[in-house]
Structure 1
């Protein structure tokens, strides 16, 4: 164990300043909560990416155009706003852990159901229902861990939880590469959805080992106002709710545009094979994983707002560079995938801590669940717009719309306070 310790005053216990001080500071209960939230978010990511990775095969199977395939993603994300808001209310009323289990079970059941869809309309319904659980998991898991984390470590702790998204994405790409290599496309996309049953194992762990943070649970239970939409739209929180939703809209609009359409872009406009696409995505995902961790560290060092501003600008620049590489320069495409994944993920690292710090304990679940997922729902229209515009602009050209989302996020920050170091009340 490499832990650097510093002692500021004689007689005081030495301060733990090692690389994993944030994890040790959580305590046994907090580390179990971290494990549950990390696993939940990784599998949430895995279940989400079963669709984008299988989209070409699904499109061919049901004879869909780009607008129809983009609509599958938009429906998922729009319904996730409802799921996230409801999960936030549940988290404030019945507790973080119980709400977390409900969200995981929901997204697992309906991901598996997608694999049995006989037609496009049924697939859309199942995917929409999957969005109910998908929308709620992150907000509930982030709050659960945030309420265990010390203020000085909260950014990097929640950044580590966010890195689970890259882990789940990587697992999905690995499974996708294997499944599509050994099965015909008409069967492979269904198998991808059936593997979405994996989260059931996590629910067993969470039920047995994870508890709500005791102090936060006591404050929540003592409050007379818990889990209501009206509370986050009252005069004292209205400005926060509106600008936090706008922030989430911009960041997630940019992100989901890329996450949804990059696999299709690599296949249809770059002519990459299944294995080739997986290789290119490996660079994007490895950049994303390191981006989450780095962004978590920076959000504690330079502040929540500065971290978001920095990586919004870099992400927008990355999109423009990535989609304007000359034909035939696929080696450069590979190289740029790493910084693009890094920047578009680092911007998310401060979200868990930032949104948690903007709301009091009694309505933290409702506030975070509503703002994050409402932003996701509105931002979800960008992937659909890309789908419709791709017929005339090409997928690569339409992806530039993602840069506009990041610009919107920077504008939203002007209406929000800096919360670095804030105690949760």
Structure 2
């Protein structure tokens, strides 16, 4: 595997392969964040337009949740499918396929004529987004120095955050060029931009030495080997932690905008702007949380860092939605919750090393993205069963308690 000298402490000491692999993974994650949140920013208005009704119609909430659930389900399946392909076809070539997939189908959402067409396009786009996570994580874990991994995880997670901020900015700027009633569909065309990045990835990013060495000696084992003696315990723990924590996280990320919209301190005319600022607050604070979680992992190890951040996520969500707060205080608590979201950057570097080389993208993708199956159900179930959005978010906060406990049992990657 390509490495740098043990004493290396500067970016200038990295090899060309490491720099290109890092940039490719970062760009892939950046556009993940962009394509991921274009829908959440326009979901209510666009679904209402497709249904031919008002945004206050209960059907908008129902079908919007179905579409988001399908997206998260596709994300899960994409991690498994492209993870399997990545262990056989190689990291670089599979990375190209994942980016092309989510760019193409995000753009096609522009042509959706009804809610189920939008659901299909979002599901297919999610296949690529889920696959890119697994491929990008394995690409870096096989090329960059082990001691840098917690910081690499923070930088990668920041790419997603910056992508989300780019989505917010894109939607805001769209108002200067497109009529208000046309904005929701036009924002999806922005999601086509990542396709152009694949031209550079395919030309400049080589396969990792570790993958080429292992692929040349033997075939990749089947998916069932993830549950073979020796790694079975790690697989089950990783799956459980991801499933539980990601369900709580995505219930918050999807329904928090509806909570802000109904806050008594938000007038009807200010809803759009305040919702965007609320999401901006969450994402901006999560950038700080990414590096804080990286420091915690470096100082205390992955298991205790995960446990601490999950515990804080539970605490701040419970406080935010158990009590009634003024709008400024709600923003403060949203920022605290965003800070806790830095925990998910740690998954990037702590999951792939738990698995052998030829099972790395399969194992990491399966573990992380199987959580999307549960989060898909969670977004729908928590939103539709709970009578009140605040109640829905309060119940979801308790999911981080078992996630924190299970994290203490997770093996420390070498």
TM-score of the superposition, structure 2-length normalised? 0.91
User: Aligned partners of 2:292, 2:163: CA distance in 1, in Å?
Assistant: 18
Matched, 1:323 2:321: yes
Q: Deviations 1:283-338 (Å, cap 9, x if unpaired)?
A: 211101111122123212211111110100111111122224535x1111222222
Which residue in the other structure is 1:248 paired with? Answer: 242
1:10-409 paired onto structure 2 within 5 Å: 15-17=7-9, 21=10, 23-24=11-12, 26-61=14-49, 62=51, 63=53, 64-180=59-175, 183-214=178-209, 216-226=210-220, 228-270=222-264, 271=266, 272-324=270-322, 326=324, 329-344=326-341, 346-390=342-386, 392=387, 394-409=388-403
Deviation digits for residues 168-193 of structure 1 (CA, Å, limit 9, x no counterpart): 11111111223257645541110111
Equivalent in the alignment of 1:9: none
Q: Which secondary structure state, in structure 1, belongs to the residue aligned with residue 111 of structure 2?
A: coil
2: distance between equivalents of 1:181 and 1:269? Answer: 28
Deviates more, 1:271-280 or 1:167-176: 271-280
Change (3 A) 1:14 1:41: closer
Report if the CA contact (8 A) 1:177-1:274 is conserved: no
Q: Alpha-carbon deviation of 1:276? A: 2.3
User: Equivalent residue of 1:350, what SS?
Assistant: helix
Aligned positions, number: 399
Residues 252 and 380, structure 1, Cα contact 8 Å, conserved in 2: no
Kindly indicate whether the alpha-carbon contact (under 8 Å) linking 2:322 and 2:394 is maintained by their aligned counterparts in 1: no
From the superposition, tell whether residues 253 and 26 of structure 1 become closer, same or farther in structure 2 (CA, over 3 Å): farther
In 1, the alpha carbon distance for the partners of 2:402 and 2:208 equals 35
> Stretches of 4+ moved more than 6 A in 1?
none
Deviation at 1:102, TM superposition (A): 0.4
Change beyond 3 A, Cα 1:325–1:27: farther
C-alpha change, 1:342 and 1:98, in structure 2 (3 Å) is same
Q: Any stretches of 5+ residues in structure 1 without a counterpart? A: 1-12
Q: Which runs of 5+ in 2 are unaligned?
A: 54-58
Q: Choose 255-264 or 30-39, whichever is displaced more.
A: 255-264
| TM score, norm. by length of structure 1 | 0.89
Give the whole-Å Cα distance in 2 for the aligned partners of 1:218 and 1:118. Answer: 45
Counterparts of 2:348 and 2:339, CA distance in 1:
18
